[in-house]
């Protein structure tokens, strides 16, 4: 059902309860559910069983009074056809056909806004995702983060939140120095496998590309930050470092552009140090009384906040452990006015959650408990030609996002992007995923993104044959829509707004992919069971309206996850 219909039915129950609860202190919480067995009805409510003991009544007797009052209420006309009592006092309602059919007119009237809500009321939310070290191309794990994070951001926007998409660049630390050393080794003529090649160096071909451009004294720019011009001097390690980082940030920008992902802001880890944010965070923690020194190191009492043991903040050598800048970064997020922060990261970050949250509580600046939220994803295994792909020439040790897009599109970037985006959110984030490139290339129902997109294209082709004016559908009579496949489509369309709301609340964008597959399946079932362009004008008009509404919701859902809705396949 649509949200308004649920509200109306809830109001019917509340009106029926009003005289029964009058003069008591009993408060009713009316919850509507979908019966497990569809044959029992469309809506189930157990409010009679909840209240019977407090009202000292038999639950079935109370249910009977509620049903009698509800069915006598004129407000139920056109909404509730019948009400039955099952078991010890469950109330099952059957919604009228007209109420179910009304979803078509709602979709036609709202168009792209169908499913949009304002529960967020402009609440500021920051969603951080990808956040790759600028030490190489984006790998498939980053791709899963990009697909999840971008879809989650769109979900929050659809529900009325003010969302900022942020990329956090880890441009400080040992890995950046390793990158610079790798490029310098290439500049000196060494390559992987040579005796002089550093053991910890990065082995991908991209290192040679950076070295060649550095020698040519080229200038590179990233989407955020100052351009970097190579000095060409093999001994100038600082110029090598700055050039290599900017070069790879630009490469990542290109990958993200191919993936159709845009960020509102880029935040550099190095700025936390240069702007004094890390020192300020440590100072706040020291003043909180939650730190202590032991064996030459500075510790944080994270056990006080549920961690399994206290954690070192500053090591004996004076350097900070990696969770300290994370605490500083999230203090900055809170200071920037974000009421909710969500991090989309690999499951290897699980161990940092407790210590980061502990640090944020310890500074005692009003940061709410549970800040930030985390969506942790598991690894992606890539299969191609029936075999697991573990390395890429471009990266040297892993499959890149660009590889995956190129392979999955068969030369068509849009097709590849659609497949990768859809596939990578088609499972819950906390489950491992096998990405089969061969399946992504199939033009059959084995390929889930093709299956959904074909449903949209099938409707477009059908409407081309109709050649009518869609504007005439606004007031069409929908009562002829009585076939079982039509009922399934109507119910699925009506579930779209609730699906978005639930997916946003549960931080589960995979639910959109599940929903789209269900909607496509119902469309294909309808297509094979019924004809649209029939001689009966009333039936034809009603079915065309149903098709236009289904096309719209398919389009809305695909747009939400960044996948195209082609008119032809």
State the Cα–Cα distance between residues 527 and 543, nearest whole angstrom. 11
Residue 394 has pLDDT above 80, yes or no: no
What is the pLDDT at residue 393? 62
Q: What percent of the chain has pLDDT over 90?
A: 89
Q: Do the Cβ atoms of 565 and 558 come closer than 8 Å?
A: yes
Radius of gyration of the chain from its Cα atoms, rounded to whole angstroms: 29
**Domain extents in the chain:** 3-95, 445-561
- CATH superfamily assigned to domain 445-561: Isoleucyl-tRNA Synthetase; Domain 1 (1.10.730.10)
State the Cα–Cα distance between residues 567 and 453, nearest whole angstrom. 9
Written as one string, the DSSP assignment of 409-439 is HTT-HHHHHHHHHHHHTSS-TTS-EEEEHHH
Instruction: Specify which residues 50 forms β-bridges with.
Output: none
Mean pLDDT for all residues in the chain: 94
Compute how many other C-beta atoms are within 10 angstroms of the C-beta atom of residue 29.
7
- Altogether, the residues listed in the chain come to a count of 569
Q: Do the Cβ atoms of 490 and 478 come closer than 8 Å?
A: no
* Residues 379, 178, 229, 322, CA torsion sign: positive
Q: Which residue has the tokens 């071909």?
A: 205
Fold of the 3-95 domain: Gyrase A; domain 2 (3.30.1360)
What is the pLDDT at residue 398? 84
> Which range among 47-61, 170-184, 232-246 shows the weakest confidence by mean pLDDT?
170-184
User: How is residue 83 written in tokens?
Assistant: 């009400």
pLDDT band at 225; cut points 50, 70, 90 = confident
Mean pLDDT is highest, among 126-135, 162-171, 554-563, for 554-563
* Residues 115, 119, 122, 126, CA torsion sign: negative
pLDDT tens track for 294-349: 999 999 999 999 898 999 999 999 999 989 999 999 999 999 999 999 999 999 88
pLDDT band at 395; cut points 50, 70, 90 = low
Q: Which of 427, 498, 481 is nearest to 34 (CA)?
A: 498
Phi first, then psi: what are they for 316, rounded to 5°?
-60, -35
State the Cα–Cα distance between residues 394 and 202, nearest whole angstrom. 11
b/e string for 73-88 if b means 16 or more Cβ within 10 A? beebeebbbebebeee
pLDDT, greater one: 390 or 15 = 15
Is there a shared CATH topology between the 3-95 domain and the 445-561 domain?
Answer: no
């Amino acid at each position: 059902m649509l949200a308004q219909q649920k509200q109306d039915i809830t109001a019917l129950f509340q009106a029926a309860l009003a005289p029964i609860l009058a003069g008591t202190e009993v408060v009713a919480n009316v919850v509507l559910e979908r019966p497990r067995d569809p044959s029992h009805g469309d809506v189930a409510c157990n409010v009679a069983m909840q209240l019977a003991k407090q009202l000292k009544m038999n639950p079935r007797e109370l249910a009977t009074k509620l049903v009698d009052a509800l069915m006598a209420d004129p407000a139920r006309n056109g909404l509730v056809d019948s009400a039955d009592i099952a078991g010890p006092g469950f109330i099952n309602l059957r919604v009228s056909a007209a109420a179910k059919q009304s979803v078509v007119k709602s979709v036609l009237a709202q168009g792209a806004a169908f499913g949009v809500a304002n529960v967020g009321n402009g609440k500021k939310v920051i969603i951080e995702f990808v956040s790759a070290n600028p030490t190489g191309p984006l790998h498939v794990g980053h791709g899963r983060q990009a697909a999840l994070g971008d879809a989650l951001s769109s979900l929050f926007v659809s529900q009325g939140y003010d969302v900022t998409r942020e990329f956090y660049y880890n441009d400080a630390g040992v890995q950046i120095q390793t990158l610079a050393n790798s490029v310098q080794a290439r500049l000196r003529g060494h390559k992987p496998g040579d005796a002089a090649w550093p053991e910890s160096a990065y082995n991908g071909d991209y290192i040679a590309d950076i070295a060649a451009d550095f020698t040519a004294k080229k200038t590179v720019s990233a989407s955020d930050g100052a351009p970097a011009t190579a000095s060409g001097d093999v001994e100038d390690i600082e110029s090598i470092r700055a050039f290599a980082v900017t070069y790879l940030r630009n490469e990542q920008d290109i990958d993200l552009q191919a993936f159709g992902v845009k960020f509102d802001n880029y935040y550099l880890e190095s700025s936390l140090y240069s702007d004094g944010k890390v020192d300020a965070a440590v100072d706040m923690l020291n003043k909180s009384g939650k730190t202590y020194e032991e064996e030459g190191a500075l510790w944080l009492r994270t056990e006080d906040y549920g961690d399994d043991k206290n954690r070192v903040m500053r090591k004996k050598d004076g350097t900070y452990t990696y969770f300290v800048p994370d605490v500083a970064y999230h203090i900055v997020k809170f200071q920037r006015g974000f009421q909710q922060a969500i991090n989309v990261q690999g499951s290897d970050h699980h161990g940092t959650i407790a210590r980061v949250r502990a640090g944020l509580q310890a500074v005692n600046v009003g940061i709410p408990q549970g800040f930030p939220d985390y969506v942790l994803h598991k690894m992606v295994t890539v299969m191609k030609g029936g075999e697991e792909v573990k390395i890429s020439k471009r990266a040297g040790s892993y499959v890149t996002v660009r590889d995956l897009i190129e392979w999955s599109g068969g030369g068509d970037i849009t097709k590849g992007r659609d497949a990768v985006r859809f596939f990578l959110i088609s499972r819950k984030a906390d489950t491992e995923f096998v990405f089969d490139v061969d399946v992504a290339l199939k033009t059959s129902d084995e390929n889930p993104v093709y299956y959904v997109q074909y449903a949209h294209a099938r409707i477009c082709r059908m409407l081309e044959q109709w050649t009518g004016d869609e504007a005439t559908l606004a007031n069409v009579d929908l009562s002829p829509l009585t076939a079982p496949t039509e009922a399934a489509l109507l119910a699925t369309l009506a579930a779209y707004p609730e699906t978005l709301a639930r997916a946003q609340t549960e931080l589960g964008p995979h639910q959109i992919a599940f929903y789209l597959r269900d909607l496509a399946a119902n469309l294909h079932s309808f297509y094979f069971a019924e004809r649209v362009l029939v001689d009966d004008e009333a039936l034809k008009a009603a079915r065309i309206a149903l098709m236009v509404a289904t096309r719209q919701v398919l389009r809305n859902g695909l747009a939400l996850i960044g996948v195209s809705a082609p008119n032809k396949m």
